[in-house]
């Protein structure tokens, strides 16, 4: 599964958000079923796009973890608008580079 998360951050909350994002990525990347996490910051904006690649249903389990819930709570205080999440299932024999 590929998960794309788009977040527009309040400028005054950028430092707190970056710290929370780093902790989230470090923890998520080390979880079973997580194949890769990548972040793109849109230049000149306080907008981030996170790409997460997960095996099977691991992402659904990941959402129930404490670190994921903590990151979601921080987002409530740091984001200008609600987070936009898009998911796409990938056939099982695909290879992610």
| pLDDT value, residue 92 | 66
Q: How far is CA 72 from CA 24, 55, 90, in A?
A: 10, 21, 25
Question: Which residues partner with 86 through β-bridges?
Answer: 4
| pLDDT value, residue 6 | 96
**For the residues 60-69, what does the mean pLDDT come to?**
93
What's the pLDDT tens digit per position in 33-44? 999 999 999 988
What's the pLDDT tens digit per position in 78-96? 999 999 999 998 876 555 5
| DSSP conformation letters of 18-64 | HHHHHHHHHHHHTSTTEEEEEEEEETTTTEEEEEEEE-TTHHHHHTT
């Amino acid at each position: 599964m590929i998960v794309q998360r788009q977040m527009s951050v309040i400028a005054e909350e950028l430092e707190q958000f970056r710290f929370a994002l780093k902790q989230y990525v470090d923890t998520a990347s080390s979880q079973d079923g997580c194949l890769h996490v990548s972040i793109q910051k849109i230049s000149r904006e306080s907008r981030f796009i996170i790409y997460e690649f997960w095996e099977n249903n691991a992402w659904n389990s990941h959402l129930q973890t404490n670190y994921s819930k903590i990151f979601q709570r921080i987002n409530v205080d740091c984001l200008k608008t609600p987070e936009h999440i898009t998911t796409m299932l990938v056939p099982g024999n695909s290879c992610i580079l």
